[in-house]
Structure 1
Amino acid sequence: MNRLTAQELRIAAVIALGGLMAVLDTTIVAVALPRFMTTFSASLTTIQWVATAYALAMVAAMPLAATMAQRWGTRRVYLVALLVFAAASAAAGAAGDLGWLIAARAVQGLAGGLINPLGMTIGFGTVDPARRSRMTTITGLPLLVGPILGPVLGGFLLDSLSWRALFFITVPPALLAVVGVLRWIPADAPSAERSPIDLLGGLLLVPGVVAVAYGFSEEALGWGARVAIVVAGSALMAVFTRRSWHHRAPLLNVRLLRDRTFGRNTAVLVLYAAPYFGSMLLMPAYVQVIRGDSPMVSALLSVPGALGMGITIQFAARVLERFGPRIVVGTGLSLAIIATGMTMFVLAPDTPYPVLAILGVFQGAGTGAIMMPTIVSAGRNLHGSDLASGSAILPLASTIASAVGTAVVSAVFTGLIAAATGGRGLAALSDPSASTGLAEELVSSYRVTLVGVLAVMVIALVVRLKTRPAPVASAAEPTTVRSAA
């Protein structure tokens, strides 16, 4: 039988709870930025660091997860990350000034960046490779649902309580996860090989990924500065990759990307995450600018997608075991492509929201059959230190892809809007009456942007269909990708 045992279900629930807290905090503050501007009498450029500090710190911590787990034990580091996250959440909620809040958010991000890679390592290490899809049915749900539910929960807390509740709300669940770790997750010993920490690798990779993420996501910078930051960050990452390819104990084992199963699935993950997460900004702009409705309406319109994902994930594990990733992920990509194409086809200034909600369900269902099965497929033959590195590479690649996708989609969409409005752009249309005569042009800009989104999704489908499944290696005989040197 491939079902999880009661003990494995408890471990999966603990990992999911910790992961949900980390993912929610990436989006829960988005709706509160205007409130922060009023509360702290600061500009949007400054206030944006409440979100940016968390995101950049999270990206910076992800590459360190594998090395920290190897040296001090996965359970121990995971436990410390949860405790630090809870303390930083409390500090953010109690912040007396903006500097305090931003600093607390940065610490939150550092802890949050460790939680999901380490949780994936624990979850995959708990079960044999054949049942990893079952484990991911539970542990992977927050990674997909969290970004969508964050704005909804944030809007509710902001309207019902105060901005401080956005941070206090994560403290009890984080502490509950700590109790679960202490009670149900067995301690693991640090690696017997105490290899020196790859400090030079860290000095290359961490600033590199932070620079790339910052350059793509920081819209307050001019295009020249953004390009320069991205190029510098990419250069650092390229030097890290070249150096790590032949290093005996690199910070991350990038040689895993040479493995057919891991490399191709990582490519599919990146090629879907970039357009999918990038296109998330389009619907709120459509609802709030073109339709003139409230942010809560746009947040509620994301709920059907979350439901679609949640339902699909519950079935994806069983179907993945029976039919394999090529059919499951290929079907998910086809469904997502059809839903995106139908959205582009039916979109109009007065498209009924129930129609968009139904398409959102299908988009979410497709995503549920793509993201988690792809991650499971990528890690199916990883064990030991390779599993730790793979568990860090996958979320890191997805996070960077999301930042790149959001920046590109935003640039294309705002450029088309500027052309349609004679250079005024979205900012000039904050008054709904200003967009009344331009509704068709704005919707056309949305449609054209979706053409690019669809194109990248089709590429992901082609890569998935051309990837043949590899046999599953047993835990007793792990597949380790070694250097060619």
Structure 2
Amino acid sequence: MNRLTGRELRIAAVIALGGLMAVLDTTIVAVALPRFMTTFSASLTTIQWIATAYALGMVAAMPLAATFAQRWGARRVYLAALLVFAVASAGAGAAGDLGWLIAARAVQGLAGGLINPLGMTIGFGAVAPERRSRMTTITGLPLLIGPILGPMLGGILLDGLSWRALFFITVPPALLAVAGVLRWVPADVPSTERTPIDVAGGLLLVPGVVAVAYGFSEESAGLEIRVAIVAIGLALMAVFTRRSWRHRAPLLNVRLLRDRTFGRNAAVLVLYAGPYFGSMLLMPAYIQVIRGDSALVSAAMMVPGTIGMSISIQLAARLLERFGPRIVVGTGLSLAAVSTVLTVLVLAPDTSYTTLAILGAIQGAGTGAIMMPTIVSAGRDLRGPDLASGSAILPLASTIASAVGTAVVSAAFTGLIAASTAGRGLAALSDPAADAALTGQIVDAYRLTLVGVLAVMVLALVVRLRTRPTTPTTEPTKVRSAA
């Protein structure tokens, strides 16, 4: 058995705690935007920057994690990121005006963007390759449940305390994680090869990923402006990729994508993360706008998926050791696809919430068997600087895919609704003259959007199944492992 030792479990718990704080802060403020508008007497376009500044800070910092880890050591940089995150969280909670709050959120995001890639580097480096799947069942859980728990916790804190509690709440856990790292995580040795930092690469990649993330997520800008920003970002990223392919010590080793194991798994991660996180906005819209129920009901409907995901991650770690990621991830993708097909078939203006909860649990179970096993499979053979680069590339790719997926799903859903309501959109339901036929048309728009989501999931399944078996990822077992 490849169980984690007591020391490894403590390291995993510390990394999970730090990672949860960083992920929670991506969504914890979502429910508070209307409160911020009233508090600071500002428009939604301005208030949105409380969320946008954090997100852009994260994507700006992620590409730097590998270089920082190689130069100064992953543990040292991880500790610094946790401390900066705690200070910035306290600063956000104590903000006296909107500008101060947005600035603190940007610093929070910069620190948060380093925490999970460095945590992955530390976690993978702390165990033998055959136990990386077990390590990831703990360290990777926040990446999946954090975005779901964020709005729920935010609503509780906002109703029970104040908006300042949304930021103060992460300070004690971050400091606790610092204490845990100091006590249990062994110091690593930075690279003795003092190669210059790839400044030119940073000036290409960081603005590039920020521009792409901003262009896809900032809905207040005009379409033409957003398209131009995305095009500039993609151009910068393309130049960085071409340059880094030949550079001796690039900011990120993009040559890893040429490796069949890493590249195929990265593709599966991107293809699934985009539609999955993008489709998360559909159910709350269905519950609150079409069904007219509260945000609390929306939050409650997220719980079955979270439970299914949590159980699935634990089972997937064990099955991964025996059957390999090709079978485990393929099964997860199949479950997710079946859940989506059934949702398309049964969704109606009055579908039983019990039915939707069961389908959500199946979707969560599939996701748990996809995301973490894919990350483990991608990084199973990485060592040293390649491990640091891979640990930065994977969350960065997933983050950008999520931004793109959310924007595309939102645009598709909005466009289909506009076509069904003569351009009035969801506001048509507030019309007293709105009838059951109109509601049915909007539900049909939801179902058609899910068909598009399903198509990308099937593509991810094809990519996963077309990956040919390679050497086993663990010690010999009765069943040969697949890539």
TM-score (norm 2): 0.96
Is contact 1:273-1:402 (8 Å) kept? yes
For structure 1, list consecutive stretches of 5 or more residues without a partner in the other structure.
475-485
Is contact 2:313-2:369 (8 Å) kept? yes
1:80 aligns with 2:42: no
Q: Distance in 2 between matches of 1:115 and 1:92?
A: 18
1:430 Cα shift?
7.2
Matching of residues 185-264 of structure 1 within 5 Å:
185-264=185-264
Query: What residue in structure 1 maps to residue 49 of structure 2?
Result: 49
Q: Distance in 2 between matches of 1:186 and 1:317?
A: 25
Change over 3 Å in CA distance of 1:107–1:165 after alignment to 2: same
Q: What amino acid is aligned across from residue 275 of structure 1 in structure 2?
A: P
Change over 3 Å in CA distance of 1:296–1:473 after alignment to 2: closer
1:469 Cα shift?
3.3
Change over 3 Å in CA distance of 1:305–1:433 after alignment to 2: farther
SS of equivalent residue, structure 2 residue 351: coil
Q: Distance in 2 between matches of 1:432 and 1:406?
A: 28
1:382 Cα shift?
0.3
Query: What residue in structure 2 maps to residue 21 of structure 1?
Result: 21
Q: Distance in 2 between matches of 1:47 and 1:433?
A: 31
Query: What residue in structure 2 maps to residue 410 of structure 1?
Result: 410
Query: What residue in structure 2 maps to residue 295 of structure 1?
Result: 295
SS of equivalent residue, structure 2 residue 425: coil
Query: What residue in structure 2 maps to residue 66 of structure 1?
Result: 66
Q: Distance in 2 between matches of 1:240 and 1:184?
A: 37
Is contact 1:289-1:432 (8 Å) kept? no
Is contact 1:289-1:435 (8 Å) kept? no
Matching of residues 30-179 of structure 1 within 5 Å:
30-179=30-179
Is contact 1:309-1:365 (8 Å) kept? yes
Q: What amino acid is aligned across from residue 302 of structure 1 in structure 2?
A: M
Q: Distance in 2 between matches of 1:172 and 1:352?
A: 40
Query: What residue in structure 1 maps to residue 181 of structure 2?
Result: 181
Is contact 2:70-2:190 (8 Å) kept? yes
Q: Distance in 2 between matches of 1:333 and 1:173?
A: 34
SS of equivalent residue, structure 1 residue 301: helix
Query: What residue in structure 2 maps to residue 464 of structure 1?
Result: 464
List per-residue Cα deviations over 1:245-304 (Å, max 9, x = no partner).
Answer: 000000000000000000000000000001100101100110111011111211111111
List per-residue Cα deviations over 1:441-482 (Å, max 9, x = no partner).
Answer: 1100000001100000000000000012332589xxxxxxxx
Query: What residue in structure 1 maps to residue 449 of structure 2?
Result: 449
SS of equivalent residue, structure 2 residue 372: helix
1:354 aligns with 2:354: yes
Is contact 2:324-2:472 (8 Å) kept? no
1:190 Cα shift?
1.1
Q: Distance in 1 between matches of 2:210 and 2:338?
A: 34
Change over 3 Å in CA distance of 1:283–1:321 after alignment to 2: same
Query: What residue in structure 2 maps to residue 316 of structure 1?
Result: 316
Q: What amino acid is aligned across from residue 118 of structure 1 in structure 2?
A: L
Q: Distance in 1 between matches of 2:428 and 2:95?
A: 34
Q: What amino acid is aligned across from residue 72 of structure 1 in structure 2?
A: W
Is contact 1:283-1:298 (8 Å) kept? yes
SS of equivalent residue, structure 1 residue 381: coil
Query: What residue in structure 1 maps to residue 344 of structure 2?
Result: 344
Query: What residue in structure 1 maps to residue 392 of structure 2?
Result: 392
Q: Distance in 2 between matches of 1:473 and 1:195?
A: 32
Change over 3 Å in CA distance of 1:167–1:431 after alignment to 2: farther
List per-residue Cα deviations over 1:378-411 (Å, max 9, x = no partner).
Answer: 0001000000000000000000000010010000
Query: What residue in structure 2 maps to residue 2 of structure 1?
Result: 2
Is contact 2:321-2:473 (8 Å) kept? no
Q: Distance in 1 between matches of 2:149 and 2:348?
A: 26
The Cα RMSD (Å) is 1.3
Q: Distance in 2 between matches of 1:225 and 1:45?
A: 15
List per-residue Cα deviations over 1:215-241 (Å, max 9, x = no partner).
Answer: 001111111111100000000000000
1:433 Cα shift?
5.2
Q: Distance in 1 between matches of 2:2 and 2:149?
A: 30
Q: Distance in 2 between matches of 1:204 and 1:391?
A: 20
Is contact 2:278-2:409 (8 Å) kept? yes
SS of equivalent residue, structure 1 residue 221: coil
Query: What residue in structure 1 maps to residue 363 of structure 2?
Result: 363
Q: Distance in 1 between matches of 2:435 and 2:271?
A: 36
Query: What residue in structure 2 maps to residue 275 of structure 1?
Result: 275
Q: What amino acid is aligned across from residue 23 of structure 2 in structure 1?
A: V
Is contact 1:290-1:435 (8 Å) kept? no
Is contact 1:305-1:361 (8 Å) kept? yes
Q: How many residues matched?
A: 474
List per-residue Cα deviations over 1:110-163 (Å, max 9, x = no partner).
Answer: 000000000000000001111100000100000001011111111111111111
Query: What residue in structure 2 maps to residue 477 of structure 1?
Result: none
1:325 Cα shift?
0.4
List per-residue Cα deviations over 1:34-75 (Å, max 9, x = no partner).
Answer: 110011100000000000000000000000000001111110
Change over 3 Å in CA distance of 1:187–1:433 after alignment to 2: farther
List per-residue Cα deviations over 1:161-214 (Å, max 9, x = no partner).
Answer: 111111111111001000000000011121011110000000000000000000
Q: Distance in 1 between matches of 2:314 and 2:408?
A: 32
SS of equivalent residue, structure 1 residue 351: coil
Q: Distance in 1 between matches of 2:435 and 2:130?
A: 55
Q: What amino acid is aligned across from residue 243 of structure 1 in structure 2?
A: R
Change over 3 Å in CA distance of 1:122–1:435 after alignment to 2: farther
